Amino acid sequence: MTLQHLRCIMLCVGEERSYTMLQDTAPFPRKGVSVITSILFVKDEHATTQLFLRLLSQETPYHIFWATNGLAALHFTQHVKPQLFLLDYHLPDMNGIQLYDRLHVRKELEAVPALIIDACLESAGDDIKQRGLFAVVVNPFDRDEFLSTIESILASPSGEQGL
């Protein structure tokens, strides 16, 4: 099965445009076998979303999967296990920490690290620290810090949480 086939399946599962594959030419890995390093980016459609998607697809070697809401991300992870969750704090149906909690309840996803992004994370600071999550404040946005944070998370042996 190719990622193009998976794209067709995903569009049937979620609302149209819930998932956008920026790179869909690699073969789809068998369940339980991690062939490609992938990031699940969960952020609603916003002007900055396209900037993030372009940056991630052009400046990293990873396959980027994009879901526009928490429910779409939950459906998606029934088929694919990414190596990193990149979660916007403010989503239309739940916040990024609520989504993190729902993803990490599942045994196969409990070790996947997560990076929470938002313009201001002051109100979520305690929840982020309590869970040992990585967090990036994107206002003002520091491109190099953002990319190096992703690299360091994915380079750590067990995706150890916390920053």
DSSP-assigned states of every residue in 36-76? S-EEEEE--S-HHHHHHHHHHHHHSSSEEEEESSHHHHHHH
Q: What is the pLDDT of residue 29?
A: 43
pLDDT tens, position by position, for the chain (163 residues)?
444 434 433 433 333 333 344 333 334 444 544 457 899 999 988 888 888 999 999 999 999 999 999 999 999 999 999 999 999 988 999 999 999 999 999 999 999 999 988 776 566 666 767 777 766 666 778 899 999 999 999 998 655 444 4
Q: What is the pLDDT of residue 121?
A: 58
Task: Judge residue 131's burial from the number of C-beta atoms within 10 Å of its C-beta, 0-12 exposed, 13-18 middle, 19 or more buried.
Answer: middle
Q: What is the pLDDT of residue 129?
A: 72
Domains of the chain: 3-155 (3.40.50.2300)
Q: What is the pLDDT of residue 150?
A: 94
